[in-house]
Amino acid sequence: MRVLVTGGAGFIGSHVVDAYVAAGHEVVVADDLSTGRRANVNPGAEFYPVDITTPHLADLFDGGRFDVVNHHAAQVDVRRSVADPVADAGVNIGGTLRLLELCRRHGVRGVIFISSGGAIYGEHAPVPTPEDFPARPVSPYGVSKFAGERYVDYYQTVHGIPSVILRYANVYGPRQDPHGEAGVVAIFCQRLLEGEAPIIYGDGGQTRDFVYVGDVAAANLRALDLLGRLNATGAAPATFNIGTGVETTVNALLGRLTALAGGGEAPRHDPARPGEQRRSAVNPTRARETLGWTPAVPLGDGLAKTLSWFRERSPKAPSNQPSAPTPAGTDVRTVGSPIVL
């Protein structure tokens, strides 16, 4: 298939591109590099520096002939969405709508839309949360992602574009940027390796469902396969949680990373941030039963791989610390998108 991956120079998107290229697909990357990096883009993919909120996106579609669009490009920071909900909506709603309209005009045969399993469901959801629990997001980011889902459903229902929605839990792993992104694992890794005190917002008892980026890339491969079957059968699009179903507190996460790093400064506690949930974990049963996907990397192994990747790139990390070789393929490749949800 010929696949357009928006946000394909970012943290998660670049791993997805790696997986698609390795599977033999023809991949085009559109990314404005506001948070992604050109070095992250697989050399086997075409790259175009395009902002999805601008008319220039149409130029890419004019000659693109895409079979599927995988939409990772987004504003992903909950705090930023609280501070500027208009800007958040401009990217996550306006950009998504522009993209879907181009898919309609150019006969794209399927869409994979990336949503949030942490920010969609709201404070009162059961944990782990199933996909059929009513969405009640408590942040502008969650609202904009849910609006994107509804537009995807509209384009499937009215215009016949089969779609798969993937609701990510908290994705972590190599290439996550501790600057300008909301990835707590990346931030903790950097601070521990550079001898700085990690910052915990609130008491650290808040929980998240941490899923390794290599597993997320594998889920996107499964979603692409499912889209092929949906195109053939005319079946309705489906929504899947992509996570482990396991809650981990921020305190426990820091404890595990500190042990892996061989020690570190005591954490500093700052006030809790508005718009963030107390507990969050998603139920991945539907993804296992329908996509045949289950997370394969345990949290301890994923944290060790991630810390090793950061250690190799930290100018302040002790040189006598052992470092594992950089994984190949979809596990790691070259670098950059979310997420503390």
Give residue-wise pLDDT tens across range 196-222. 999 999 999 999 999 999 999 999 999
Beta strand 248-249 with 207-208 is antiparallel
CB 311 within 8 A of CB 321: yes
Tokens representing residue 217 in the block: 């890339």
Give the CA distances from residue 255 to residues 76, 170, 250, 261, 268, in Å, rounded to whole numbers and listed in that order. 26, 18, 9, 10, 14
Cα 120 from Cα 133, distance rounded (Å): 10
Contact partners, residue 173, CB within 8 Å, separation at least 6: 11, 15, 185, 212, 213, 214, 302, 305, 306, 309, 331, 332
Residue percentage of the chain with pLDDT more than 90:
79
Q: Is the pLDDT of residue 129 over 70?
A: yes
Closest Cα to residue 246, out of 217, 208, 213? 208
Confidence of residue 77 (pLDDT cuts 50, 70, 90): confident
Mean pLDDT of the region 8-22: 98
pLDDT of residue 236: 60
**Burial class, 136, CB count within 10 angstroms (exposed 0-12 / middle 13-18 / buried 19+):** middle
Q: Where are the beta strands (DSSP E) in 187-327?
A: 199-201, 207-208, 210-212, 238-242, 248-249, 268-270
Top pLDDT among 232 and 63 is at: 63
Q: Could you say which of 20, 121, 141, 155 is catalytic?
A: 141
- Of the candidates 74, 56, 124, 130, the one whose C-alpha atom is nearest the C-alpha of residue 339 is 74
> Are the C-beta atoms of 137 and 149 separated by less than 8 Å?
no
Name all domains of the chain by residue range, CATH numbers in brackets. Answer: 1-341 (3.40.50.720)
CA 102, 25, 174 angle in degrees (round to 5)? 95
pLDDT of residue 179: 75
pLDDT class for 110, splitting at 50, 70, 90? very high
Q: What is the pTM of this model?
A: 0.90
pLDDT tens string 217-264: 999 999 999 998 876 566 666 899 999 999 999 999 999 999 999 999
Say whether pLDDT at 96 is over 90: yes
Q: What is the mean pLDDT of the chain?
A: 89
pLDDT mean over 72-98 = 95
Phi, psi dihedrals of residue 46, rounded to the nearest 5°: -80, 145
Environment class of 311 (CB within 10 Å of its CB; exposed 0-12, middle 13-18, buried 19+):
buried
The string of DSSP codes covering 81-143 is: HHH-HHHHHIIIIIIHHHHHHHHHHTT--EEEEEEETTTSS-TTS-SSBPTTSPP--SSHHHH
pLDDT at residue number 336: 28
From the CA atom positions of the chain, what is the Rg in Å?
19
pLDDT digits (tens, 9 = 90+) for 255-299: 999 999 999 999 999 999 876 788 999 999 999 999 999 999 999
Mean pLDDT confidence for 137-164: 94
Whole-number Å distance between alpha carbons of 338 and 95: 17
155 pLDDT more than 80:
yes
Q: What's phi and psi for 59, nearest 5 deg?
A: -60, -35
Look at residue 330 in the predicted model and tell me its pLDDT.
32
Indicate the SS3 state at residue 43.
Answer: coil
326 pLDDT exceeds 60?
no
Environment class of 196 (CB within 10 Å of its CB; exposed 0-12, middle 13-18, buried 19+) = middle
Average pLDDT estimate for 109-135 = 93
Handedness of CA 107, 99, 9, 74 (dihedral sign): negative
- Is 141 a known active-site residue? yes
- CA distances in angstroms from 100 to 53, 115, 149, 160, 205, listed in the order given: 12, 15, 11, 12, 39
Region 52-66: what's the mean pLDDT?
94
Report the SS3 class of residue 27. Answer: strand
pLDDT higher than threshold 50 for residue 29: yes
